[in-house]
Amino acid sequence: MSRAPRRWLLGSVVALSTAGIIGIGVTDADAASTVTTVVGPLNVRTGPTTKATVVGQVPNGGTVKLACKVTGEQINGRIRTTDQWDRLDSGRYVSHAYVRGATSLPTCPTEPGPNGSMTPAQFVAASVAPAQRGQLEFRVPASVTIAQAILESGWGRSGLTANDRNFFGIKCFHGSPGAIATGCHSYATHECAGNVCTPTTATFRTYPSATDSFRDHGHFLTVNSRYAPAFAFTGNADQFLFQIWKAGYATSPTYVQNVTALMKKYNLYQYDLR
């Protein structure tokens, strides 16, 4: 299958040096940056978790230029224990557990993401940035993420999505929303075994934003070992989708065909990062 030219919306991997970080795509919100030193060496990652890809390292005493802060994985570092991660001007992240000072960083603005009032073209366009950010952090093909969001949320119009910003139907397990979601909400739904679907009640995760839901999608697939075989196919979106379905992501027997049809119709493959 031919692929259209890819759209690189998140920028290339940044260059790191002992003098600091060479930033790209700095927004107005990032303009008032804080320059500080680290007690390292400190890894620079694509997301606020140790599961995210390492794209560079700052040595002990090196300088970083920080734009804002987010909540991520709690880290026991050389300065403090904290779940704060600092976003660099480059859009990458470092754990605040290794950063000196920088106590007055602003909270990073939340990307708007897609919603149910958008046209299909607008929905896809709004989904590209969070899906590609998820690919950088968790290696899930952006095309799969966008197509699943369309199908699972009914273009953002399902009650689960409209009420709780849950775009992927990810459930709570044992009453826990996991590391990124903020709560749980019970809904009537259906579970299918083969061609037989029966009504049931299930508890789903709730999110403060669409961006958090997209990020949790990648995190969910990464931390659940049954989906591990799919990550041998991160360069093949169709096969990646088949593998997560085979592992039990969805019970519908036509799930793969339905998601693949969306990927082809809207040429979502063009958004996959290589």
Q: Where do the domains of the chain lie, and which CATH numbers do they carry?
A: 16-98 (2.30.30), 120-271 (1.10.530.10)
Residue 51 has what pLDDT?
A: 67
* Residue 1 predicted with pLDDT over 50: no
Q: Is the model more confident about 274 or about 18?
A: 274
Which one of the listed residues 86, 152, 216, 272 is annotated catalytic? Answer: 216
* Residue 91 predicted with pLDDT over 90: no
| 216 has catalytic annotation | yes
Phi, psi (deg, nearest 5) at residue 230: -65, -30
Q: Which residue has the tokens 């075989």?
A: 229
Burial of 186 (0-12, 13-18, 19+ CB in 10 A): exposed
Quick: pLDDT tens for 32-75.
578 888 888 999 987 777 766 688 899 999 988 998 998 888 89
Quick: pLDDT tens for 228-270.
999 999 999 999 999 999 999 988 899 999 999 999 999 999 9
Residue 203 structure tokens: 């508890």
Quick: pLDDT tens for 6-15.
333 333 333 3
pTM of the full structure: 0.65
Which one of the listed residues 191, 212, 238, 272 is annotated catalytic? Answer: 191
Q: Are 265 and 139 in contact (CB under 8 A)?
A: no
